[in-house]
Amino acid sequence: MKKNVLITGTSTGVGLETALLFAKNGYKVYATMRNLSKSTALKEKITEDKLDIEILELDVTKQDTITKTVEYIISKDQKIDILVNNAGAGFAKTVEQASEKEIEWVTNVNYLGVVYTTKTVLPYMRKQKAGRIITLSSVGGLVGQPFNELYCGAKFAVEGFIEGLATYVGPSFNIKFSILEPGGISTEFMKSAIGNTTVDGQFATGEYEPIFAKYLEGNQRRANEEAENTYQTPLEVAEVIAEVAADDNPPLRKRTSKWAEEFAKLKTVGDPDGKKLIEQITSTFL
Ligand SMILES: NC(=O)c1ccc[n+]([C@@H]2O[C@H](COP(=O)([O-])OP(=O)(O)OC[C@H]3O[C@@H](n4cnc5c(N)ncnc54)[C@H](OP(=O)(O)O)[C@@H]3O)[C@@H](O)[C@H]2O)c1
C-alpha cells in the first residue's frame, strides 16, 4: 500500500506544490483546504498529470472539519503516515492597534490550528507506532520581527508545542517531528498578509505610522535588491519538505534556505537541527 500524506492549506503556495510533489513521488495525497472553491488550480494539475490526490475540506480553526477529514482517511486507508501542518497566514500590525478578533484569528490559524490538527492525528499514529509530523513554522518562529509580534508569537508557540512533543511522544511511539523554518517565499502570503492587516488602506496610525513606513521601505528594498537570495519559490520549500519526509533520521528543525540559516544563526548556532536538545531532555527520563 502506498504511503499517504495529509496536507493542510493546499489551495495555494507551499501546500499546493507539496501536494503535487508528494503525488509525483508516489504518495497517496489528501490535499485539504478550507474553501473547496479554491481547488481549481490543483484539480487542473491532477487531471493533467494523472495524480493520486484527493481534495478534502479542512479548516484548521474548525475542529469538526479536522475530525471528519481525519476519520475519512482512516476509514479508507486505516492509517496516516505523514501530516504536513502547512496552513498559516501572515499578519503585520502592532499589537496595540490589533483588535481582539484579529489577535484571536492570527493565533488560531497559525498556532491552535497546528495544535488541533496534530491532536486529532496523534492517536492513530501512536496506534500505528509510526508517523511523521512536519510543521511549517518560519524564521519568525525563532526571531521576533517588527510589526510581526502576533505572527511570530504564534510561530514561537508552534515551535514550543512541537519541540515538547518531540521530547517524549517522538521517541516513545516512533513518531518523527520536524519543524521547517523558511525565510521569504514568493506566494500569496504577502498579499494575504496585507489584506488581513489593513483597514481602509491604513497599516498603522499615530506614532506607529512612520515606523511602519520605514519598515515597509526596508522590506521593499530587500525585495528589490536581494530577491534572488532572499526569496524561495514554493516548490523549493516543497522539495525540502519531501527531503525531510524521506529522511530516516530527520532534523527537529531546519531552515529551508541559506538566507534563512544566516538570518536565524544567533538562535540556532549551538544546535542547528535541534537533535542535541532532544537528546539532552530524553536522556533524563527515557
Ligand atoms: N510566504 C512566506 O514568506 C512564508 C515565510 C515563512 C513561513 N511561511 C509559512 O509557510 C506556510 C505556507 O504559506 P504560503 O507561503 O504557502 O502562503 P499562502 O500561499 O498564503 O498559503 C497559505 C495556505 O493556508 C491556508 N489557510 C489559511 N487559513 C486557513 C485555515 N483556517 N484553514 C485551512 N487552511 C488555511 C490558505 O487557504 P486560503 O487560500 O483559503 O486562504 C492557503 O492554502 C504557512 O504556515 C506560513 O506561515 C510562509
Q: Give the model's confidence band at 199: pLDDT under 50 very low, under 70 low, under 90 confident, else very high.
A: low
| pLDDT of the residue at 220 | 82
Q: Which of 151, 176, 254, 257 is catalytic?
A: 151
Return the bridge partners of 53, or none.
29
Ligand 1 center–CA 127 separation, angstroms: 30
Which is more confident, 188 or 270?
Answer: 270
Percent of the chain at pLDDT > 70 equals: 98
Quick one: average pLDDT of 27-43?
A: 98
Mean residue pLDDT across the chain: 95
Residue-wise pLDDT tens digits, 108-137: 999 999 999 999 999 999 999 999 999 999
**Residue whose grid cell is 478550507:** 34
Annotation says 27 is catalytic: no
Indicate the top mutation candidate among 162, 189, 194 to test ligand 1's pocket, ranked by most ligand atoms within 8 A of CB: 189
Superfamily of domain 4-198+232-282: NAD(P)-binding Rossmann-like Domain (3.40.50.720)
The structural domains of the chain, with segments of one domain joined by +, span 4-198+232-282
The answer to whether residue 151 is catalytic is yes
pLDDT of residue 77: 98
Does the annotation mark 192 as catalytic?
no
Say what the pLDDT of residue 219 is: 83
- The one catalytic residue in 27, 111, 137, 178 is 137
Q: What is the DSSP track for 198-236?
A: -BTTBS--TTHHHHHHHHHHHHHHHHHHHHHHHEEPHHH
Helix, strand, or coil (residue 255): strand
d(CA 5, CA 245): 10
| C-alpha count within 13 angstroms, C-beta hemisphere, residue 222 | 12
User: In angstroms, rounded to a whole number, what is the distance separating the alpha carbons of residues 148 and 204?
Assistant: 12
The grid cell for 41 is 488550480
Please, which pLDDT band fits residue 224 given cuts at 50, 70 and 90? Answer: confident
- Identify how many contiguous H helices and E strands the chain contains and give both numbers: 12, 9
Residue 269 has phi, psi (to 5 degrees) of -60, -30
- Mean pLDDT over 172-180 rounds to 98
Atom of ligand 1 nearest to the CA of 189: 20
Q: What is the pLDDT of residue 201?
A: 61
Across the range 29-46, mean pLDDT stands at 98
pLDDT of residue 196: 72
137 flagged as catalytic: yes
pLDDT for position 70 = 98
Is there a contact between 39 and 15 (Cβ–Cβ < 8 Å)? no
Give the binding-site residues of ligand 1, using a 6 Å CB cut-off: 8-15, 33-35, 38, 59-61, 86-89, 109, 113, 136, 138, 182, 184-185, 187-189, 192, 234
User: Which sign, positive or negative, has the C-alpha torsion 272, 273, 278, 280?
Assistant: negative
Whether 94 contacts 138, CB under 8 Å: no
**Strands 175-181 and 184-185: what pairing?**
unpaired
Residue 200 has pLDDT above 90, yes or no: no
Secondary structure E strands in the chain: 4-7, 28-33, 53-57, 82-85, 131-136, 175-181, 184-185, 231-232, 253-255
Catalytic option among 155, 215, 231, 257 = 155
Atom 18 (ligand 1): residue with closest C-alpha?
189
> What's the rounded mean pLDDT across residues 160-177?
98
Residue 207 Cα to ligand 1 middle (Å): 30
Determine the Cα–Cα distance for residues 5 and 15; give it in Å rounded to an integer.
Answer: 12
Give me the residue label for grid cell 474548525. Answer: 62
Closest approach atom of ligand 1 to CA 16: 43
C-alpha gyration radius of the chain = 19
- The answer to whether residue 35 scores a pLDDT higher than 70 is yes
**Cα end-to-end distance, the chain, whole Å:** 33
The model carries a pTM of 0.97
Q: Taking residues 22-45, what's their average pLDDT? A: 98
